[in-house]
Amino acid sequence: MKIARDNRLDTLKAISIIFVLIWHLRPFYFILDKNTNSFIYIAAKIFRNLELLLFLIAVPLFYIVSLYLFLIKKPDNKYFKSRIIKIFNIFSFWSIFHYLFFLIITKEVPKFDWDILIGLKPSLPLVGDSVFYFLFNLICLTSFAFLYRKIVSKKLINLLNSIIIIFSLFLFEASYINNVIIPYHWLINFVIYIPIAYYLVNHPTLIIKYRFLYLATYILFSFHDIFLRSYNYFPSIYGRISIVCGTLTIFCYIYSFKIKDYWYIQKLSKYSLGLFAIHKYWQCLILLFIIHSKFRTAIDFFGIPIIFVFLITGILVVFFSILSIRLFNKTVLKQFVG
């Protein structure tokens, strides 16, 4: 089933990749100490909370858009097979690329284990883990979503949806209150988006109608997160009720708008995969270059002390990532960036 391009979904993907870049690159990194001006201190704390409560919505938002697009096409066995093969090919290509990049940069052979198989490791110097666990999880989530299509009984599927949603929300809250962190790459963080996507496809008007309620709940649990962090509770990256409500809020509000056909939104959406896949390699290379060159890393920006290296790195990473995508598009590898 062919679905016409939807500017609202393109906008959601564009927002997601922008959030990913801000979260990973952190272009505005404040230096705080006992002499920091109170206004700057408050601004820094607000920005940090935005990182934890808003920008982290990026990955769940990608998942919910992908699952929505998959389910709305009413996939048969043929389409499911082609979809899984496509994601697996992209996952395999970038996993091999990541492994080779690590070998060249570190001149080390990483121990082969499960984390490498799922696209989480090896970790790159200065920038951390691989991002391709996202694709491994997407293969799993797409497979589970396809099984939903096989359930005929509406009573059974509604019961299953309720169990998944209630269990996930309970798990997220219980782990937070008990100060237990759910590893960010675990699939359990994202299973809840299957029933949410199912309801958005099958009952869109009903679900979107309550968008203000999702927003109110998102705000409530955001303050809940801030309160617990102030008492040295450590939140899971994605396993939080605030993240689920924030994801649903952004999806429903954007989907309720009439969005025009903007060129830059389409480009960000189309090449979100390329930006997602490539940016960490340039981030790693540029940070290594800056450190070895011993550049000055801090500046005073309009009276606000910030880590200059992150601002410069962010600009350069975006530039070289876009340049890399343009080069990929001139080869047979263009399928791996868009």
Each residue's pLDDT tens digit, 172-224: 999 999 999 999 999 999 999 999 999 999 999 999 999 999 999 999 999 99
**In a domain? residue 316:** yes
pLDDT at 75: 87
pLDDT at 100: 96
Confidence tier at 291 by pLDDT (50, 70, 90): confident
What is the mean predicted confidence (pLDDT) over 36-43? 69
Q: Which of the residue ranges 26-40, 268-282, 323-337 would you say has the lowest mean pLDDT?
A: 26-40
* pTM as predicted: 0.91
pLDDT at 300: 61
The answer, yes or no, to whether residue 4 has pLDDT greater than 80, is no
**In a domain? residue 159:** yes
In degrees, rounded to 5, the angle at the alpha carbon of residue 9 between the alpha carbons of residues 245 and 166 is 25
- Cα separation, 186 vs 190, in Å, equals 8
- In the chain, the number of structural domains is 1
**Considering the chain, what percentage of its residues have pLDDT values greater than 70?**
91
- Cα separation, 324 vs 286, in Å, equals 14
Burial of 206 (0-12, 13-18, 19+ CB in 10 A): exposed
The domain of 217 spans 7-22+40-285+312-336
What single DSSP character describes residue 336?
Answer: G
**In a domain? residue 297:** no
The answer, yes or no, to whether residue 304 has pLDDT greater than 80, is no
Alpha helix (H) residue ranges in the chain: 7-25, 38-53, 58-72, 77-106, 114-117, 133-150, 154-177, 193-202, 204-209, 211-230, 241-255, 263-270, 272-293, 308-328
- Peptide linkage before 122 cis (omega within 30 of 0): yes
In this structure, are residues 305 and 30 in contact, taking their beta carbons and an 8 Å threshold?
Answer: yes
Confidence tier at 152 by pLDDT (50, 70, 90): confident
**In a domain? residue 303:** no
**In a domain? residue 301:** no
Please state, as a whole number, how many other Cβ atoms lie within 10 Å of the Cβ of residue 299. 14
**In a domain? residue 192:** yes
**Residue 307: its H or E element:** strand 304-307
What single DSSP character describes residue 123?
Answer: P
Mean pLDDT across the chain: 90
**In a domain? residue 291:** no
Angle between helices 193-202 and 58-72 (to 10 degrees): 50
Burial of 275 (0-12, 13-18, 19+ CB in 10 A): buried
Burial 49-87 (b: 16+ CB within 10 A, else e): eeebbbbbbbbbbbbbbbbbbbbbeebeeeebeebeeeb
**In a domain? residue 201:** yes
Burial of 199 (0-12, 13-18, 19+ CB in 10 A): middle
